[in-house]
Structure 1
Amino acid sequence: MSSRDGNRVRIAVVGCGYVADMYRDCLALHADGLELAGVYDRDPARLAAFTRTWGDRAFGSLAELLAEPGLAVVLNLTDPENHAPVTRAAIAAGRHVYSEKPLGLTFGEARSLREAADAAGVRLAAAPSNILGEQAQTLWRAVRSGAVGRVRLVYAELDDGMVHKADYRRWISRSGRRWPAEGEFETGCTFEHAGYVVTLLVAMFGPVRRVTAHAALLIPDKECDQPVHPAPDFSCGLLEFDGGIVARLTNSIVAPYDHRLRIVGDGGVLQVDEPWDFAGPVRLKRTATTRLDRLIERRFPARKGKVVPAPRPVPFRGGRGRPTMDFLRGVREFADAIAAHRPSRMDADLAVHITEVTEMLQHPERFPRPAPVTSQVGAMRPMDWAV
């Protein structure tokens, strides 16, 4: 069975909710490598709205989609509690799977999916793929080149403000889907967002070895239109890597919006303000050593330093209703790796590792303190254009 149409890998989407429009909006960026065979959603109205908006073929059932001749990759964009069952069904049908984050809602669930994929001889990967973007690759290249010397410490914030107070009912996707507030609150901001930073750090510094974390539900009443059982809305964890590197990662939907990532080395600090903006700048600020430098640093703490040159221009620009990151870049890298019979940067080991670390952050009560990380992950290669 061929998995290619010409030089393009055939993919199909399961789940036509809010995030599916973001993925679909990026398909034109990969017209030379990906062919969308069609889409499916268990909600007929949602499926009809999506196909009406984008003009895609609609499958009548999940079974019909999985039986599609020549289909190589199932792109699982269902809600988080359905990630595992849909992925398991696709694996059983002999399809490779790229899943939206998280791969599973527990480390055990993610690990069992990897074992099922291995047994079936198919590949598995999961978002987020922002490590493949221009900003992240620029940051990683600066670290590799020794721009700040030996790295000692990382500060990462993923605070989104009080989302439940925001006018999120007006956050509508292109096909008319409302932002899934209730699902987001029940999954938890840590499971939704921590992977954007953890993936970057694992790529740069290798696997996380130990996690010490605290999480809490600070605002139980999220003022939703229907009852919800929210997960912790705040977490703070210390991630320990080889070489003595420690990262402090904070997630919340309570504190004011702040997505800064700062990598502190002996010679300075590398900073990004938004880790899922591919076009965002990476800035370098040298360590203050003289009395004058330290005085300037105290008086003007907002000074971010000079911009680090990117290895290439960003091939697209987000904003004005369009995503600021190429959501399909991970799918493309995964599909290209399958077609070329080479290892993928976005592989199952990475997805399982990110899931284990994230569960430790959101549910530290399930683990000893500090918690040793048991999953392993191989070294990731930079993108060829960023070497």
Structure 2
Amino acid sequence: MGQSRTGDETPHRLGIAGLGVTSAAYLQTLTASDAVVITAVADLDAARARSVAAGLPFARVMTVAELLTADEVDTVLNLTTPASHAEIALGAIAQGKQVYGEKPLAVTLAEGRSILAAATHAGVRVGSAPDTVLGTGIQTARAAIDDGLIGRPVAASAVMVTAGHELWHPNPDDHYREGGGPLFDMGPYYITALIHLLGPIRSVTGASSRPQDHRVIRTGPRAGESIPVLVDTHVTGVLEHDSGALSTITMSFDAAATVRSPLEVYGTEGTLAVGDPDTFDAPTGLRRAHDGSFHPLDPLAGYVDGTRGIGLVDQIRAPRRTAARANGGLALHVLDVMESLQRAASEGRRVDITTAADRPASVPLTPRAEWLGAVHEGRRV
């Protein structure tokens, strides 16, 4: 299975822009799936692009500009740095191509709106990570909520506390620039999960801080180098969902760890302890009022053994008039929430969310062999 171009089911043609660390996880999924065939790759490091292409039987090495205009590319997978997300997405859309990108959709809400407006005008789809929320972890928690196992959900908490990327990343600069920081780096996982669990968000309040103006790289050839911190590195807030549920969120690069569950959902009859939304299959625990402790739930829903790229496969497989689960409208809503939370923190006030989003369709429990299967949608090779 994977990279096949024979038979009646012709895979969707994919070009990948950006072949850094993140691309390895996507390639694991996409080369195993009959839904796509990778026909082009591009990276600023030409040697890296050639190395990746050597393992892909139908891929040609191109520049990014060439990839955006290539006839053999139906969808552009945008794995470049956040600052380039909007430029490349708009370039692909201008050529009539679909786009799926890494999170965040863009570094500003204005850029995100321009991407969605261009896609609507061109009649093409836009999708965006994170797709970890489509795995059995978050989807099992969602099924438990939808099945009434905790009664009426009234609140949730989302907590991510960790030391900074400079401790392990040899080039952590982007994590401390616009489009980085804990909110934009990790917030999309947590906020997207909260929307899957409790629905879209209508307003936010918050506060934030920047305890350190510089960070010192601790590993790699730049060890000892000091880099500036240009964004707040501890952000906390309250998200008011359309349903009336209230979520609290804490995103921090300023402490070692936390003992809290990454996500907890509180209902009138029980509580869910939900695992890391940056993974696909973290276990979910349920405790009701009469229970003495949490007990694990068996997987109830989601793509089994999901890996990065399943959101793109889901987008390709979705009928043309059906929204994919990791769709651009949802990503724009998440971007709006994050930007509004920053504004609420800086201005000390409640900020209304100006975008709307539908709660994505739930994912039935789907075996890996099934979601890796070929598709009938999309243009032919």
TM-score of the alignment, normalized to the shorter chain, above 0.5: yes
Question: Cα distance 1:10–1:54, how it changes in 2: closer, same or farther (>3 A)?
Answer: closer
Runs of 4+ in structure 1 deviating by more than 4 angstroms, as ranges, are 52-56, 312-315, 365-368
Structure 1 residue 365 displacement after superposition: 5.1
8 A contact 1:215–1:364 mirrored in 2:
no
Of the structure 1 ranges 341-350 and 369-378, higher mean CA displacement relative to structure 2 is found in 341-350
C-alpha distance in structure 2 between counterparts of 1:352 and 1:89, whole Å: 18
Tell me which residue corresponds to 1:134. Answer: 136
8 A contact 1:215–1:361 mirrored in 2:
no
C-alpha distance in structure 1 between counterparts of 2:67 and 2:18, whole Å: 12
Tell me which residue corresponds to 1:257. Answer: 257
Tell me which residue corresponds to 1:359. Answer: 339
Tell me which residue corresponds to 1:16. Answer: 19
Which of 209, 222, 245 is matched with 1:216 structurally?
Answer: 209
Structure 2: which amino acid aligns with 1:159? V
- Is it true that 1:309 corresponds to 2:298 in the alignment? yes
Tell me which residue corresponds to 1:326. Answer: 307
8 A contact 1:10–1:35 mirrored in 2:
yes
Tell me which residue corresponds to 2:172. Answer: 181
Deviations 1:97-141 (CA, angstroms, capped at 9, x unpaired): 011111111111101111111111111111111221111110100
Question: Cα distance 1:334–1:308, how it changes in 2: closer, same or farther (>3 A)?
Answer: same
C-alpha distance in structure 2 between counterparts of 1:13 and 1:237, whole Å: 35
TM-score by length of structure 1 reads 0.83
For residues 276-291 of structure 1, the aligned pairs below 5 Å read 276-287=278-289
Tell me which residue corresponds to 2:374. Answer: none
8 A contact 2:343–2:351 mirrored in 1:
no
Structure 2: which amino acid aligns with 1:330? G
C-alpha distance in structure 2 between counterparts of 1:265 and 1:312, whole Å: 20
Tell me which residue corresponds to 1:199. Answer: 192
- Is it true that 1:245 corresponds to 2:249 in the alignment? no
- Greater percentage in helix: 1
Question: Cα distance 1:46–1:361, how it changes in 2: closer, same or farther (>3 A)?
Answer: farther
Structure 2: which amino acid aligns with 1:71? V
C-alpha distance in structure 1 between counterparts of 2:355 and 2:149, whole Å: 30
C-alpha distance in structure 2 between counterparts of 1:162 and 1:286, whole Å: 36
Structure 1 residue 331 displacement after superposition: 0.5
Structure 2: which amino acid aligns with 1:202? I
Tell me which residue corresponds to 1:82. Answer: 84
Tell me which residue corresponds to 1:27. Answer: 30
Structure 2: which amino acid aligns with 1:25? Q
Tell me which residue corresponds to 1:157. Answer: 159
C-alpha distance in structure 2 between counterparts of 1:56 and 1:82, whole Å: 26
C-alpha distance in structure 2 between counterparts of 1:217 and 1:91, whole Å: 37
Structure 2: which amino acid aligns with 1:345? R
Structure 1 residue 257 displacement after superposition: 2.9
C-alpha distance in structure 1 between counterparts of 2:164 and 2:341, whole Å: 20
8 A contact 1:213–1:237 mirrored in 2:
yes
Q: Secondary structure of 1:385's match? A: coil
Tell me which residue corresponds to 2:110. Answer: 108
Q: Secondary structure of 2:333's match? A: helix
C-alpha distance in structure 2 between counterparts of 1:357 and 1:143, whole Å: 23
8 A contact 1:238–1:247 mirrored in 2:
yes
Question: Cα distance 1:314–1:125, how it changes in 2: closer, same or farther (>3 A)?
Answer: closer
Q: Secondary structure of 1:25's match? A: helix
Deviations 1:57-102 (CA, angstroms, capped at 9, x unpaired): 3433223212332422100000000001011110111101011111
8 A contact 1:191–1:362 mirrored in 2:
no
C-alpha distance in structure 2 between counterparts of 1:14 and 1:153, whole Å: 39
Structure 2: which amino acid aligns with 1:326? T
Structure 1 residue 384 displacement after superposition: 3.3
Structure 1 residue 341 displacement after superposition: 4.5
Structure 2: which amino acid aligns with 1:309? D
Question: Cα distance 1:366–1:43, how it changes in 2: closer, same or farther (>3 A)?
Answer: farther
C-alpha distance in structure 2 between counterparts of 1:151 and 1:275, whole Å: 19
Tell me which residue corresponds to 1:374. Answer: 354
- Is it true that 1:336 corresponds to 2:338 in the alignment? no
8 A contact 1:37–1:71 mirrored in 2:
yes
Deviations 1:309-364 (CA, angstroms, capped at 9, x unpaired): 21369743xxxxxxxx51111010111126x5532122221111011001123443
Unaligned runs of 5+ in 2: 218-224, 367-381
Q: Secondary structure of 2:255's match? A: coil
% identity of equivalent residues: 27
Q: Secondary structure of 2:39's match? A: strand
Question: Cα distance 1:207–1:134, how it changes in 2: closer, same or farther (>3 A)?
Answer: same
Structure 2: which amino acid aligns with 1:34? V
Tell me which residue corresponds to 2:74. Answer: 72
Structure 2: which amino acid aligns with 1:91? I
Unaligned runs of 5+ in 1: 170-179, 297-302, 317-324
Q: Secondary structure of 2:157's match? A: strand
Tell me which residue corresponds to 1:167. Answer: 168
Deviations 1:178-219 (CA, angstroms, capped at 9, x unpaired): xx4111222211101111111122123221011001121122
